[in-house]
Each structure stands twice: as C-alpha cells, then as structure tokens.
Amino acid sequence: MATRQRMVTAMFRDRINAERAFDWLHAHGYPDSDINVLMSDKTRATYYAQPEAGKISSATKAGQGMGIGGAIGTITGATLAAVAMIGANIAIPGLGGLIIAGPLAGALAGGGAGAVAGGIIGALVGWGIPEDNARAYQEALRGGGVVLGVVPRDADDAAKIQEEFKNLQGEDICYV
C-alpha cells in the first residue's frame, strides 16, 4: 500500500491571487501536472471560459469586482487558465460541477462514484485535508474561490510554499 504524500493546500478567494500562487509554483519548478486546482464549474465558466492565445479574455467577467486593474489580457494566470480548461469536471453532491486538475483528479477518477458520494467535504477529508479546512474550502469554492495544492519536494520547500500562499492572501493553509 502506497503512503500518501503530504500536500500544502490553500484557498484563494480571488482569481488573481490564485493565479499568482499557481504561477509562483510553476516558476519554482512544479509542472502543471503536479499542481492540484479545484474550482467550481461556475468559476471556470465565469473567469476561464474564453482564453485567447494564452491570455484571459476581457470578454469574460474577470474584471467585475475582482480589483485586477491592468491584469486582464496579460500573461498572468494563463497557465492556470489552461489547466482549468483541461481539468476533470466531476459532479460533487452539494456543489454541482467541480473542476479538478492535477494528481487529485486522477485519484478521484480512480476512486469512482464512491469517492465523491459524501460530497466535497468527504472528498477533501479523504485526501487528508482536515475537516475544518475542507469546510472552509467548500465555502470558498461555492463563492467563486480556487483551492490549490501541491506535494512539496521537502520540508524547506513546504515552508516556502506556505509563506508564499500566505503572502498572496491564501487562507486555511495546511500541510498534511
């Protein structure tokens, strides 16, 4: 039986900080395939429905209430947009469609319908997320937030990731 690796996770209530965290992980050597991204289908449709040549379209609702200034149309978050577009779309009870990209998408798909029968909280707790964090993540996902997670290379890297997530207004950061 394989031992589950510890993962650093955080929720981001706004798209821009989620994109910055994703880009930071990417710049520090984590490929897209190692970064777990969770968002609601509604969030993907609202912010990532029409990426244009690696850019987030100004035709989306990305500028409404997000305080993003000149970030629309820049390359910031283009990778997250691409990952969001290819993420698995899994219906989780109580949340509707949930977009999951990264290693967790494969684990969830391998677990079949039983893995998500308990809803998003059950699925997150099953991945090792503490229940309090899972409840906070569920609420953030319902409100348009994005949850990111990655298995760090070592404890020093875990500390750096947690610090960067905190700097980018990540909430309910955990390393479990």
Q: What is the mean pLDDT of residues 34-58?
A: 66
Please state, in angstroms and rounded to a whole number, the distance separating the CA atoms of residues 38 and 147: 5
User: One-letter amino acid identity for 170?
Assistant: G
170 CB contacts (<8 Å, ≥6 apart)?
Answer: 10, 11, 12, 17, 21, 148
pLDDT band for position 165 (50/70/90)? Answer: very high
Please state, in angstroms and rounded to a whole number, the distance separating the CA atoms of residues 15 and 62: 8
Q: What is the mean pLDDT of residues 168-173?
A: 96
pLDDT over 70 at 167, yes or no: yes
Place of tokens 């998003």: 120
Please state, in angstroms and rounded to a whole number, the distance separating the CA atoms of residues 65 and 68: 8
- Tell me the per-residue pLDDT of 57-112, one tens digit each, with 9 for 90 and over: 333 333 333 333 333 333 445 556 665 665 555 555 555 677 777 777 666 555 54
pLDDT band for position 175 (50/70/90)? Answer: very high
Give the pLDDT confidence score for residue 29 in this predicted structure.
95
Give the pLDDT confidence score for residue 147 in this predicted structure.
93
For 124, other C-beta atoms within 10 Å of its C-beta total 26
pLDDT over 70 at 49, yes or no: no
In order of 43, 44, 72, the CA distances from 67 in angstroms are 16, 18, 10
Q: What is the mean pLDDT of residues 44-66?
A: 46
pLDDT over 70 at 32, yes or no: yes
- pLDDT higher at 71 or 49: 49
For the whole prediction, is pTM greater than 0.75? no
Are residues 58 and 72 in contact, defined by beta-carbon separation less than 8 angstroms?
yes
39-43, 51-55, 85-89, 105-109: segment of lowest average pLDDT: 51-55
- pLDDT higher at 63 or 51: 51
